Amino acid sequence: MPFSNPLALLGLLSLVPLIIIYLIRPRPKEVLFSSSLFLPEGEAERSAVLSRLITDPLFWIQALILITLSTAAAGPYTLSEGTPSTHLAIVMDVSASMDGGFQQALNIPEPYLDSYSKVSIVIAENIPAVTLQAGSPTEARDTLAKITPKAVTSDLSGAMNLARGLLGTDGGNILVVSDFRGWLGDDPESTRKLLESKPGISVVFAKTSTGGDNVALVGGWSVPSGSGYVNHTAQVHNYGSARQVPITVSSPGGSSTKAVSLANGQDYYFSFNAVPGINIVSLGVNDAVSSDNRAYIYVPGQRQTNVLYLGEDEPSLIALQSLPSVKVEKSGDPLDFDVVVASKNSSTDGALNRYVDGGGKIVYVAYNDNESPDYLPVKINRRAAGPVSLWQRSQEFAGDIHFDEIGVQNHLDAAPRRQSQTLVEANGAPVLAYWMLGKGTVVYNGLEYDSDFYVRPEYPIFWYETLNWLLGVPDISDSNKKTGDIVPLGEILTVDTPSGGETTSNLLLDDVGIYRYRDTTLAASMYNPQESDLVGDGASYPSGQFSMASAREAQTQNDLSLWVILLGAVLILGEMALVWWRREA
């Protein structure tokens, strides 16, 4: 008889102390005699103890109780043959290119379901996921009805390997439903050959048709304009026949629509100013893929920034005054302002030291070599003759500025202080640097000394990005992602997604739209030509066929522990009755 926990049979060793107790236990014998007679000397009987051990029913009852308890703990069972067990694992491609033919794809598994006792379902996104494990055919139908296509490219090979793991050691069949137009990872056919090289596994490819005309938003680029807005450029491509395409741009300030004629294979680019808030670009078409007909651009809102400008009027003052949501004043207490810009001949050295030490933000614009305040991250030494080229060492902010194109005739030779960070340098001397001083931050700007930086179109953008960096305003790229990206949240949070609430610690952006969690807003757009291009039929693979050898006879395990426990209970009741009878006798 097999046991599920055979180590519990060690409990049978408890019979040894029971036997020893009975061997050494004294048992006086009652003898009737006259008070006037002496007792005769008794003779020892060799087998008295052993005889008493064998004939005492209480010993046997207690021994059987110990045996039944140990046997029950060991979990005895018997095996009987059951009905054949079969397992089907369905890999459902939910990539964006499946959109047009997705209902057809959902109907493909239907003829197979009732032939299997267990069904598992894996959805093939860029990160495959299990939606049903060893469920019934009815549960499989309910699960399939809830699956929708996503705005991502699928990892078919990863999903097939995940399905193989769900089948377990008994094996089974894997049905892959896909248009096989594109995928991440290994080639699906190579993965099929690898899986079928192991006994008990069969893989069938069920190809679904997803062709059709499609017009798509395939690209989008956002550049801060320096005016509080973001200049967004969108790319539209026509993968179908010539047609008129209505393009609508919606923003918190309103919407506008224009129709564009696109020939087959033609690209169309257009730009607009995205304002703070949620901006939407949509194509007024009903085509094969819906996820590429809308794009979202989120521009974080900015509160008013109060800037104190100290010193003579220079181009930096004009640039700051041109920025929206920025209020510039030329006098006042530094503690009342978010940022202080110290320009030529500013003379509040002591006050600024106290300001930055308490957590203030300072941008020092260097215009001469005879001033070098103690709060600077560099020590200005002298004027160095040029011309000279600038080299960008780090991109912590203003990374999109082409510093190497700035014409610098002469520059200030400065030495970096300890714990300062140099962003741009000229002949090894820092011309843009910063450091943390006390609780505040100081930026050294030597870019405007004898250069043409102030006449370049990036100049206002530089000041826009510098203020945003100092005040912790998120970069536009941090708020706008592509679908398929994974955003680590650092903890388990509930996220408001385009398809509903989701609780996770790693957010997968698999739908086009807006995601919100805590005080963060993210916009996700597809921009994936691989999924939007439905020209052609995709990869062609042999369908394959299922092997009936994967159906194995199931063995049913019949647990006998309950019956053994009931027998032990009866023996315990018998022991109690015997002890009571002896006491009464």
Nearest in space to 374 (alpha carbons), one of 355, 393, 389: 355
pTM for the complete prediction? 0.64
What pLDDT, in 10s, does the model give residues 317-328? 998 888 877 889
In contact, 101 and 208? CB cutoff 8 Å: yes
Token output for 153: 């490219």
Q: Which CATH class is domain 305-473?
A: alpha beta
In contact, 510 and 486? CB cutoff 8 Å: no
Query: Can 83-211+539-555 and 305-473 be said to share one CATH topology?
Result: yes
Q: What is the pLDDT of residue 519?
A: 82
* Residue 550's pLDDT band (cuts 50, 70, 90): very low
Please enumerate in sequence order all residues whose Cβ is within 8 A of that of 189, keeping only pairs 6 or more positions apart, or say none: 541
Q: What are the structural domain ranges in the chain? A: 6-76+566-584, 83-211+539-555, 220-300, 305-473, 477-525
For tokens 């769900």, the residue is 166
For the chain, the average pLDDT equals 86
Beta-strand relationship, 172-178 and 201-207: parallel
40-77 in b/e form (b: 16+ CB < 10 A) is eeeeeeeeeeeeeeeeeeebebbbbbbbbbbbbbbbbb
Nearest in space to 488 (alpha carbons), one of 508, 472, 470: 508
What pLDDT, in 10s, does the model give residues 13-22? 887 887 777 7
The three-state (H, E, C) secondary structure of 400-429, written as one string: CCCHHHCCEEEEEEEEECCCCEEEEEECCE
Q: Max CA-CA distance within the chain?
A: 143
Average pLDDT for 430-453: 89
* Residue 36's pLDDT band (cuts 50, 70, 90): low
42 residue type, one letter? G
Q: What is the pLDDT of residue 549?
A: 47
Q: Is residue 226 over pLDDT 60?
A: no
Whether the upstream peptide bond of residue 387 has omega within 30° of 0, thus cis, is yes
Query: Is pLDDT larger for residue 397 or for residue 157?
Result: 157
For tokens 């503690």, the residue is 335
260-296 in b/e form (b: 16+ CB < 10 A) is bebeeeeeeeeebbbbbebbbbbbebebbbbbbbbbb
Q: What is the pLDDT of residue 506?
A: 94
Q: Is residue 284 over pLDDT 80?
A: yes
Please enumerate in sequence order all residues whose Cβ is within 8 A of that of 102, keeping only pairs 6 or more positions apart, or say none: 94, 148, 149
The three-state (H, E, C) secondary structure of 138-185, written as one string: HHHHHHHHCCCCCCCCCCHHHHHHHHHHHHHHHCEEEEEEECCCCCCC
* Residue 290's pLDDT band (cuts 50, 70, 90): very high
Please enumerate in sequence order all residues whose Cβ is within 8 A of that of 479, keeping only pairs 6 or more positions apart, or say none: 298, 299, 300, 521, 522, 523
For tokens 């919606």, the residue is 250
What pLDDT, in 10s, does the model give residues 163-182? 999 999 888 999 999 999 98
Q: Is residue 129 over pLDDT 80?
A: yes
Q: Is residue 419 over pLDDT 90?
A: no
What pLDDT, in 10s, does the model give residues 71-114? 888 888 887 654 456 899 999 999 999 998 899 999 999 999 99
* Of the options 3.40.50.720, 3.40.470.10, 3.40.50.410, 3.40.190.10, the CATH number for the domain spanning 83-211+539-555: 3.40.50.410
Q: What is the pLDDT of residue 548?
A: 59
Q: What is the pLDDT of residue 26?
A: 63
**Domain 220-300 fold:** Immunoglobulin-like (2.60.40)
Average pLDDT for 193-210: 90
Q: Is residue 479 over pLDDT 50?
A: yes
Count Cβ atoms below 10 Å from residue 86 Cβ, excluding itself: 20
For tokens 């896909």, the residue is 178
